[in-house]
């Protein structure tokens, strides 16, 4: 089931509009968090740091989707049992 959820997530991400408000807001929040560090780091070092932050956010988003999907499925099963 885990593979199916990940495939679903990947398909949804590929179809997602890059101009999506949620994506823009998340990107802006990450950049705001890194703003102060950017003042103290060299450009290449900052870009490496920034890229890792975006990678971590993408990984967290995928795991959040998977976990939310599982909770929603469990809720649906519980509702049908009652």
Cβ 6 vs Cβ 63: under 8 Å:
no
* Length in residues, the chain: 82
Cβ 43 vs Cβ 19: under 8 Å:
no
* Residue 19: predicted pLDDT: 63
- Residue 2 CA to residue 40 CA, distance in Å, equals 41
pLDDT digits (tens, 9 = 90+) for 21-64: 667 888 899 999 898 888 888 999 999 999 999 999 989 988 99
Of the candidates 23, 25, 53, the residue with the CA atom closest to the CA atom of residue 38: 53
Structure tokens belonging to residue 12 = 């949804």
**pTM of the entire predicted model:** 0.72
Could you tell me what percentage of the chain is helix, strand and coil, using 3-state DSSP and rounding each to the nearest 5?
Answer: 90, 0, 10
pLDDT digits (tens, 9 = 90+) for 15-28: 776 666 667 888 89
């Amino acid at each position: 089931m885990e593979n199916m959820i990940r495939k679903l997530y990947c398909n949804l991400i590929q179809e997602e509009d890059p101009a999506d408000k949620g994506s823009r807001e998340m990107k802006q929040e990450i950049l705001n968090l890194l703003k102060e560090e950017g003042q103290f780091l060299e450009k290449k070092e900052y870009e490496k740091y920034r890229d890792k932050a975006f990678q971590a956010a993408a990984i967290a988003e995928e795991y959040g989707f998977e976990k939310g999907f599982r909770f929603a499925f469990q809720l649906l099963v519980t509702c049908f049992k009652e």
